[in-house]
């Protein structure tokens, strides 16, 4: 991890009293702020690299110059220029174009302008789209992108929560029944995660939509959309079932396998044996002696899987025609909508950073070392 | 050697290993066969499907073997060539010859063929030959289908003959093969089974001028894998998809694991700013949206498999794996035998490559095997996004074509299932092997 919470050497944490709480809070706030800044910096570097890739070795500049030329051309078609000779008009047009290019800084080297692009990209002020429009009719890239954000968040927020808590409970349950048929079955099923969610999606569509005909092929709403709020929600839920199932099939087996192994290794630790010897209830042992110390590591692992999860969303949405960011990106590729493609990269970088940030806060809440400000994080 | 046999006996405890090894060997065998049987250049030409390479195959045909499981057989595709039949030739006058050829075939299916087509193959200098084609039904009735002069490369698409469909009120291939009594009513037309004939009379006006041709009855089944929307034989795509998938998976895994491994080793050994730089790069790289960047490269630069492979490797070196390797190397770095190596004056590179890396290689092997299916599926994922290599046939591209061609809506399940089954078999065999190896090489997991 990037930044470590700085702890003053020799400082001992207060065990009780108000000052202990404030000190913890201050440390916590400092940790959160440092993590936030570090993550923002990484996002900025990532987006800056994307800006260089998207410039395509000067191709974008050519594209923008062509746009200027077109705009100037249209401008000079007006009636007030009708009396001019073609050569006069051409000189005037070239002049105007030159001024416009200078105004936008297109005559300067790319490296200088790249920082301006970075700022624009980070604030999503990417101008107007070329062909795509948002459902409300706006041609602003920001509007097109932000309109699709909630649908993606709903589907993949739910999906990731299911994966996280599902795998946690299942692996807890299995490690308790170590060696049982179910346990061995879960180990045998782990290779299922080799295939990505969209792959299971195609099979699920085949079974539930084509053959059985009980669930929709894709999309998010019935046509026409139901009028009541309840009907609307049920319709969305119905369309979410298959993507969620596909996601679960692909992500849960490996997650269960990893956590189960982890729990099993930890349940043979000495302090767990001691707790058992003390005659504590198995529930308490699991919660306090196995889950509690392993949770920080599990959260770190989950943060890493989340990084891949947002990207898996792109194809899963495409296969299920879920009207989210992923499908938008896919459509943008088809239409060669450069601003939307770059905007999607930025949004995905933000999503990644945000999810890692949230998990970091959770980590800080759980890991006592962070609260104490000890140099304990690896 | 002893260690090797110990590993072998440990592996033998896992029955899945034998199964997955067998499948992997079979896949390698298929790859070798594909590369020998169809050279890559030929495969690309066939897959591009230009210049009517696939004129003789039906569209959307299911695999032929599916007929075994059907009580009502689907019609097969067959081709009748004029060259295979001896015609009768007569000289009508100066520079005028007439040749009559009769092509006959037995139609025994209860369903109508998908299409009928006639391709001419004429030779002449300046005067085009005249051709008359007559259809002879099993009950002896005759119907003239075509009369006219024929140019080079001309074809007569019987199924698109609007005059025939007007006459019959149904598609030409239905009208021609139907029992006339079932036509015209409200009931479904039924096939008249029996021996059909096609009489081709040609008039040539030059010495050396000739008329050949082939008549094709397109069915609903073809070959061992069926065909797609462009009439391409899927068997070729599936066959050639095997070496491409394996090679892509293998190269990408070798690139990422080996490079990541070496970089982690150098970082831990030298420590200091080298290590810190690697750590920072990894953090930034983890924040980079991998797939969107691949998409940008695919859209803006090139969709070639090699470019994609290079970008994928470059983006996958500095990931969570490098942190895991680092943790392992840190443990080994302080062990006594490394100190001993240092004491005898071994160079840094020698220590890294001879002492540090070999120690961790067992851990690398399962990771390596588990990485292959991920990259095989990544290639398929890129194809789904329309970023597959434009020339090469891959499983992912077949799957995408099927998906976008509406195979799921229209019931062409074979088209989706064939590449999907191959993908899942490949993925499962490698990942089952990887999981088993993981337990063999990581003693902590043994018995769990």
**pLDDT tens for each residue of B112-146:** 888 898 998 888 888 889 999 999 999 888 888 88
Q: Is the ipTM of this complex over 0.85?
A: no
Q: How far apart are CA A252 and CA A242, in angstroms?
A: 15
Residue A315 touches partner B, C-beta closer than 8 Å = yes
CA proximity to A200, closest of A242, A161, A255, A157: A242
Rg of chain B, C-alpha, whole Å: 32
- Where chain B has pLDDT below 50, the residues are 448
Q: What integer is the mean pLDDT of A177-184?
A: 84
CA proximity to B237, closest of B223, B247, B225, B246: B225
Who contacts B300 (Cβ-Cβ below 8 Å, separation ≥6)? A53, A54, A56, A59, A338
Element (H, E) at B210: strand B210-218
- DSSP 3-state assignment of B116? strand
pLDDT number for residue A249: 92
Strand partners, B133: B146, B200
For A129-157, the DSSP string reads -SS---TTS--BHHHHHHHHHHHHHHHHH
Token digits for B390? 């434009």
Token digits for A80? 């007030």
Indicate whether A3 pLDDT > 50: no
**pLDDT tens for each residue of A82-119:** 777 778 888 888 888 888 888 777 777 777 777 888 88
Subunit contact B296:A205, Cβ cutoff 8 A:
no
Contact yes or no for A60/A104 (Cβ under 8 A): no
What does each C-alpha distance from A288 to A106, A278, A365, A374 come to in angstroms? 62, 14, 16, 22
pLDDT number for residue B359: 82
- Of A75-79, A359-363, B432-436, least confident by mean pLDDT is A75-79
pLDDT number for residue A72: 81
- DSSP 3-state assignment of B115? strand
| Residues of B whose CB is below 8 A from A308 | 290
Subunit contact A206:B416, Cβ cutoff 8 A:
yes
| Residues of B whose CB is below 8 A from A196 | 377, 381
| Residues of A whose CB is below 8 A from B287 | 39, 42-43, 45-46, 307, 349, 352-353, 356
Indicate whether A12 pLDDT > 90: no
Q: What chain B residue is nearest to A187 in terms of C-alpha separation?
A: B435
CB neighbour class for A302 (10 Å; exposed up to 12, middle 13-18, buried from 19): buried
**pLDDT tens for each residue of B7-40:** 777 777 777 788 889 999 999 999 999 999 988 8
Average per-residue pLDDT in chain B? 86
Q: How far apart are CA B396 and CA B379, in angstroms?
A: 7
- Chain position carrying tokens 């300067």: A108
Token digits for A255? 């997650």
Subunit contact B291:A336, Cβ cutoff 8 A:
no
Q: How far apart are CA B385 and CA B405, in angstroms?
A: 14
DSSP 3-state helix, strand, coil percentages of chain A (rounded to 5)? 75, 0, 25
Of A194, A311, A319, the CB nearest to B291: A311
CB neighbour class for B8 (10 Å; exposed up to 12, middle 13-18, buried from 19): exposed
| Residues of B whose CB is below 8 A from A210 | 408-409, 411, 413
Element (H, E) at B130: strand B130-136
Subunit contact B431:A196, Cβ cutoff 8 A:
no
Q: What chain A residue is nearest to B380 in terms of C-alpha separation?
A: A199
CA–CA min distance A263, chain B (Å):
11
Q: What integer is the mean pLDDT of A155-179?
A: 88
| Residues of A whose CB is below 8 A from B296 | 50, 53-54, 341-342, 345
More confident residue, B355 or A339: B355
Q: Where are the beta strands (DSSP E) in chain A?
A: none
Looking from the CA of B128 toward its CB, the CA atoms found within 13 Å total: 12
Looking from the CA of B355 toward its CB, the CA atoms found within 13 Å total: 20
pLDDT number for residue B248: 93
Q: How far apart are CA B45 and CA B391, in angstroms?
A: 9
Q: What is the DSSP letter of B387?
A: -
Indicate whether A308 pLDDT > 80: no
| Residues of B whose CB is below 8 A from A202 | 399, 403, 408, 416, 420
pTM strictly above 0.80: yes
């Amino acid at each position: 991890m990037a930044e470590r919470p700085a702890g003053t050497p020799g400082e001992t944490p207060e065990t009780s009293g108000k000052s202990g709480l404030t000190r913890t809070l201050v440390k916590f706030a400092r940790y959160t702020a440092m993590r936030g800044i570090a993550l923002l910096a990484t996002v900025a570097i990532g987006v800056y690299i994307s800006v260089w890739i998207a410039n395509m070795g000067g191709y974008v500049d050519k594209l923008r110059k062509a746009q200027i030329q077109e705009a100037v051309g249209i401008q000079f078609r007006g009636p007030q220029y009708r009396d001019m000779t073609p050569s006069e008009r051409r000189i005037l047009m070239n002049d105007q174009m030159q001024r416009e290019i200078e105004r936008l800084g297109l005559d300067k080297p790319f490296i200088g302008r790249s920082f301006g692009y970075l700022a624009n990209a980070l604030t999503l002020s990417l101008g107007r789209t070329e062909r795509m429009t948002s459902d409300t009719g706006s041609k602003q890239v920001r509007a097109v992108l932000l309109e699709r954000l909630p649908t993606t968040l709903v589907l993949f927020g739910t999906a990731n929560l299911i994966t996280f808590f599902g795998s946690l409970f299942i692996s807890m349950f299995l490690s308790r029944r170590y060696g049982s048929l179910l346990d061995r079955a879960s180990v045998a099923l782990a290779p299922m995660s080799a295939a990505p969610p969209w792959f299971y999606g195609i099979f699920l569509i085949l079974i539930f939509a084509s053959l059985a005909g009980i669930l929709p092929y894709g999309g998010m709403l019935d046509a026409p959309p139901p009028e009541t709020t309840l009907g609307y929600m049920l319709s969305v839920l119905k369309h979410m079932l298959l993507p969620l199932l596909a996601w679960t099939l692909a992500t849960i087996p490996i997650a269960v396998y990893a956590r189960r192994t982890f729990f099993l290794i930890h349940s043979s630790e000495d302090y767990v044996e001691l707790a058992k010897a003390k005659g504590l209830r198995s529930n308490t042992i699991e919660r306090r002696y196995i889950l509690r110390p392993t949770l920080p590591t599990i959260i770190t692992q989950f943060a890493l899987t989340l990084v891949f999860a947002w990207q898996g969303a792109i194809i899963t949405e495409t296969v299920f025609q879920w009207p989210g960011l992923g499908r938008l990106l896919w459509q943008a590729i088809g239409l060669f909508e450069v601003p939307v493609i770059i905007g999607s990269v930025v949004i995905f970088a933000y999503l990644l950073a945000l999810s890692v940030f949230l998990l970091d806060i959770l980590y800080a809440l759980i890991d006592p070392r962070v609260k104490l400000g000890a140099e304990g994080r690896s | 050697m002893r260690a090797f046999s110990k590993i072998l006996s440990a592996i033998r405890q896992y029955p899945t290993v034998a199964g997955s090894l067998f499948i992997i060997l079979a896949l390698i065998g298929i790859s070798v066969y594909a590369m020998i049987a169809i050279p890559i250049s030929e495969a690309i030409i066939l897959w591009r499907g230009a210049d009517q390479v696939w004129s003789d195959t039906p569209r959307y045909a299911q695999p032929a073997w599916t007929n075994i499981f059907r009580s009502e057989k689907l019609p097969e595709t067959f081709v009748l060539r004029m060259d295979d039949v001896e015609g009768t030739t007569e000289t009508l006058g100066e520079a005028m010859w007439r040749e009559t050829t009769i092509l006959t075939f037995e139609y025994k299916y209860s369903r109508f063929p998908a299409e009928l087509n006639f391709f001419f193959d004429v030779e002449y200098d300046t005067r085009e030959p005249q051709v008359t084609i007559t259809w002879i039904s099993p009950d002896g009735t005759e119907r003239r289908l075509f009369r006219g002069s024929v140019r080079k490369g001309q074809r007569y698409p019987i199924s698109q003959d609007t005059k025939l469909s007007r006459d019959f009120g149904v598609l030409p291939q239905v009208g021609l093969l139907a029992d006339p009594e079932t036509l015209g009513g409200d009931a479904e037309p039924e096939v008249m089974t029996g021996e059909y004939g096609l009489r081709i009379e040609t008039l040539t006006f030059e010495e050396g001028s000739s008329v050949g041709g082939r008549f094709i009855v397109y069915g609903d089944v073809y070959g061992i894998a069926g065909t797609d929307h462009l009439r391409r034989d899927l068997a070729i795509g599936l066959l050639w998809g095997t070496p491409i998938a394996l090679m892509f998976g293998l190269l990408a895994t070798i690139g990422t694991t080996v490079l990541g491994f070496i970089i982690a080793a150098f970082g831990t050994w030298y420590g200091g700013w080298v290590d810190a730089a690697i750590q920072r790069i990894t953090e930034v790289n983890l924040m980079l949206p991998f797939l969107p960047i691949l998409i940008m490269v695919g859209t803006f630069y090139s969709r070639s498999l090699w470019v994609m492979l290079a970008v994928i490797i470059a983006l996958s070196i500095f990931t969570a794996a490098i942190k895991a390797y680092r943790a392992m190397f840190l443990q080994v770095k302080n062990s006594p035998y490394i100190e001993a190596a240092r004491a005898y004056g071994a160079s840094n590179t020698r220590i890294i490559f001879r002492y540090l890396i070999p120690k961790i290689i067992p851990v690398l092997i399962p990771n390596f095997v588990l990485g292959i299916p991920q990259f095989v599926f990544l290639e398929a994922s890129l194809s789904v996004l329309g970023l597959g290599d434009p020339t090469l046939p891959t499983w992912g591209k077949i799957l995408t074509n099927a998906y976008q061609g509406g195979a799921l809506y229209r019931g062409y399940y074979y088209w989706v299932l064939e590449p999907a089954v191959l993908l899942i078999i490949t993925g499962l065999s490698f990942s089952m092997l990887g999981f088993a190896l993981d337990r063999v090489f990581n003693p902590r997991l043994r018995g769990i």
